[in-house]
């Protein structure tokens, strides 16, 4: 069944150069448990589309339904609560808080959810352990390699057991070995836990792991293919 449905989604930005339409009337859906890569050249609209699906950027037109809820119609506070409960994010720049340890970064979203400290700590250590970095729990981001920081970011994204995981260029700052490790983790999350994953990427290694590949150009979907993932 479709977990996510987009109908005629349009996103327009105003700039000094004039009006820029980043997404042109996109309509598509994503099935529960799918691993999808949104691909295309820089500026094609893939990150804007990902941000719209995640409720980080409101479209100017159209509907985005996640598990039956039209997130476009939600008030700001309700949208924040919906994201906290249903969506995990992995950002290109990691977005870890520099003054917090790895464990505290993973706990952060749970703290916003109001989960008690003992439970937050247990789940954070468990998530870090599942990614093979439990021994780094007390280190701050500046003391970690890029691959280790990305694993912390993944732990933070999955610790709340979201139904949807969005990853924007997750391999952009990683070497080939770290990228391979990250992809194995995402594949495990997708296959073993049934988490729906959508990633915006131009990395062939990431694309190879996706069962579905959506091609974008100039804010429009120009290809939609399914393939056997790596």
pLDDT (tens digit per residue) in 101-116: 999 999 998 998 889 9
Chain Cα centroid distance, residue 111 = 20
Name the percent of the chain lying above pLDDT 70.
Answer: 99
Q: What are the angstrom distances between the C-alpha of 169 and each of 39, 154, 163, 174, 192?
A: 10, 13, 20, 10, 23
Q: How confident is the model at residue 184 (pLDDT cuts 50, 70, 90)?
A: confident
* Residue 95, pLDDT above cutoff 80: yes
Cβ 49 vs Cβ 59: under 8 Å: no
Mean pLDDT of 158-171: 89
Q: Token pair of 193, please? A: 């836990």
Confidence at residue 119, expressed as pLDDT on a 0 to 100 scale: 93
**Most confident of the following: 35-44, 88-97, 144-153:** 35-44
Mean pLDDT of 161-189: 85
Q: Where are the domains of the chain?
A: 2-98+145-226
Q: Token pair of 89, please? A: 């994010």
pLDDT (tens digit per residue) in 56-83: 999 999 999 999 999 999 999 999 999 9
Name the percent of the chain lying above pLDDT 90.
Answer: 61
Quick one: CA dihedral 39, 22, 97, 71, positive or negative? negative
Smallest Cα–Cα separation from 216: which of 88, 26, 83?
Answer: 26
**Rounded distance, CA 105 to CA 143, Å?**
14
**Most confident of the following: 7-11, 191-195, 207-211:** 7-11
Q: What angle do CA 124, 38, 18 make, to 5 degrees?
A: 110
In the CATH hierarchy, which top-level class contains the domain 2-98+145-226?
Answer: alpha beta
Strand partners, 29: 5
What is the DSSP code string of 130-155? HTT-GGGTT--GGGS-HHHHHHHHHH
């Amino acid at each position: 069944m479709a977990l996510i449905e987009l109908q005629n989604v349009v996103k327009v930005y105003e700039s000094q150069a004039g009006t820029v339409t980043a997404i042109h009337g996109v309509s598509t859906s994503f099935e529960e448990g799918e691993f999808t890569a949104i691909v295309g050249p820089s500026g094609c609209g893939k990150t804007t589309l990902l941000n719209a699906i995640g409720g980080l950027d409101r479209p100017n037109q159209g509907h985005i339904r996640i598990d039956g809820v039209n997130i476009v119609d939600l008030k700001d506070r309700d949208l924040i609560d919906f994201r906290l409960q249903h969506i995990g994010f992995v950002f290109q720049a990691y977005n870890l808080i520099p003054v917090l340890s790895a464990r505290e970064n993973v706990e952060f979203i749970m703290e916003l959810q109001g989960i008690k400290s003992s439970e937050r700590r247990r789940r954070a250590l468990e998530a870090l352990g599942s990614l093979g970095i439990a021994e780094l729990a007390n280190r701050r981001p500046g003391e970690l390699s890029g691959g280790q920081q990305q694993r912390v970011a993944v732990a933070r994204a999955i610790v709340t057991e979201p139904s949807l995981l969005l990853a924007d260029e997750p391999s952009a700052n990683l070497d080939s070995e770290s990228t391979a490790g990250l992809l194995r983790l995402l594949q495990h999350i997708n296959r073993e836990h049934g988490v729906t994953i959508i990633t915006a990427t131009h990395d062939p290694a990431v694309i190879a792991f996706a069962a579905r590949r959506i091609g974008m150009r100039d804010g429009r979907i120009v290809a939609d293919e399914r393939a056997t993932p790596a």
